[in-house]
Amino acid sequence: MSYLHRLMLLVVIALVPVAAVQIYNAFDLRDRQETEVNQQAERLLGLMEAEHVRLTDGLRQTLATIRQTQFAQNGDYAACQSFMDRLRPDTPDYIDFTLSDRSGTIRCGTEAKSVGTLIVDRPHFQRAMAGEAFVVGGYARSLATDAPVLPFAMPLRNPAGEITGVVSALLETRWLAASSGARQLPGNATLIVADRNGIVIDRLPELPDLVGNRLPESFQALLMDSRGRTVEISGLNGIAQVLAYSPIAAPPTGLFISVGIDKAAAMVPIDRATTRSLIIIGIGLAFILALTWLGSRWFVRRPIQALVGATLRWRGGDCAARVGPLGSAGDGSEFGILARAFDAMAADLEVQSTLREQAHHTALKMAEVLESTTDCVLDLDPEWRLTYMNQRARDLVATAAT
């Protein structure tokens, strides 16, 4: 592995922890957003529950007040209708109060059209006649207006304690859209209210042909849950939701209330931010690696190649080879110092080589002179050892030996 590749690997290893922290932060932010979506669904559900409890308590108190009146206990239906007429202006137009006798005939009410109609077959009437103290009924339709309603009822008793009829309140489901809790629903949220049988009383936003029909099986399992909680479920429109729900066992008794938030829509801002963060991290890493690559080639590979090239030329016999501009005095880097040292060494070696060549050339000329003379020339070292003799000396030595 080359030095440049090792340097790139070192940079990658150094950047891994930074990238890992950024990626962790991005996904941690997404997890926190999921928690926030769950909490938001629970808060919205709490608002709707609290509002419905207040409304239910108000209806309970009103029904209890009506059944304590003298005309209700004595069966004075003319006085009852006069009271209902006076009550009508002070009552929201989505609430109707009625009083019926034992036969189930409505004798007086805030909605004049309902007077004289029979409700003996209505479950809320039957349950009240059976002695249930306060009845929260199921989905029904008003006999006077045919609007979907949620009935509430209490039994009427005479001074002797006998049940003589039923006082009822019919709450049109359009109250839900007018409630303050519903107005706080974000655009990606849905609200469902269903009765104890799983029949949808209302849904916001409206879904065609849903009111009056049963919830799908995935929701039916939540009706009888012992406690409310938050789950992820496919909504009635097929979109995955974070659903906070209150089962029928929770107050107000007999109703199922749920608030669902479109998870995908809620996560869009975070997903976009996460994607942007990952893209920025990727671009940043690519930029750093590219900058490292270019910087390494310019500041590391280029000086090394210059040094290696000068060395190879020296090895090939080019004693004039130098590193050149890399070793200029203005370059204070380690490579610049090394280049100047190399050039200085090369200059010294070139001078020494020149001197050796000159000395060798001088020695050859001297040898030629000594060989051509007729005198005997000998050269002895300090130890009196013979180091040189010319041809004349060698001839005399050879003659003396013979």
Looking at residue 163, its pLDDT comes to: 93
251 and 366 assigned to the same domain: no
- Establish if 150 belongs to a structural domain: yes
Looking at residue 155, its pLDDT comes to: 95
Q: Within 10 A of 372 (CB to CB), how many other CB atoms are there? A: 10
Q: Name the amino acid, one letter, at 356.
A: R
CA angle 235, 241, 211 (to 5 degrees): 30
Mean pLDDT of the 143-166 span: 89
Who wins on pLDDT, 389 or 154? 154
Q: What CA–CA distance (Å, rounded) separates 40 from 244?
A: 9
Which one of 240, 264, 288 terminates a domain?
264
Maximum average pLDDT range among 35-49, 171-185, 264-278, 281-295: 35-49
- Establish if 348 belongs to a structural domain: no
Which one of 234, 264, 294 terminates a domain?
264
- Establish if 282 belongs to a structural domain: no
Quick one: CA torsion of 44, 47, 53, 56, rounded to 10 degrees? -90
Element counts in the chain: helices (H) and strands (E)? 11, 13
- Establish if 252 belongs to a structural domain: yes
236 and 368 assigned to the same domain: no
Q: List C-alpha distances in Å: 382 to 17, 305, 387.
A: 74, 51, 10
- Establish if 329 belongs to a structural domain: no
Which one of 200, 235, 264 terminates a domain?
264
Task: Tell me the β-bridge partners of 189.
Answer: 261
238 and 364 assigned to the same domain: no
Q: Is the pLDDT of residue 101 over 90?
A: yes
192 and 72 assigned to the same domain: yes
Dihedral sign, CA of 38, 51, 173, 205? negative
255 and 125 assigned to the same domain: yes
The domain total for the chain is 2
- Establish if 292 belongs to a structural domain: no
259 and 393 assigned to the same domain: no
Per DSSP, 226 falls in state S
- Establish if 117 belongs to a structural domain: yes
Residue range of the domain that includes 243: 41-264
142 and 255 assigned to the same domain: yes
Looking at residue 110, its pLDDT comes to: 92
42-56, 301-315, 357-371, range with the lowest pLDDT: 301-315
Who wins on pLDDT, 178 or 127? 127
Nearest residue to 190 (alpha-carbon basis) of 151, 141, 240: 240
> Which CATH number do you get for residue 128?
3.30.450.20
The model's confidence at residue 11, banded by pLDDT at 50, 70 and 90, is confident
Mean pLDDT for the chain overall: 82
Mean pLDDT of the 155-166 span: 90
Global pTM reads: 0.63
246 and 381 assigned to the same domain: no
Mean pLDDT of the 116-143 span: 91
Note the helical H segments in 111-258: 123-129, 175-178, 180-183, 217-223
- Establish if 17 belongs to a structural domain: no
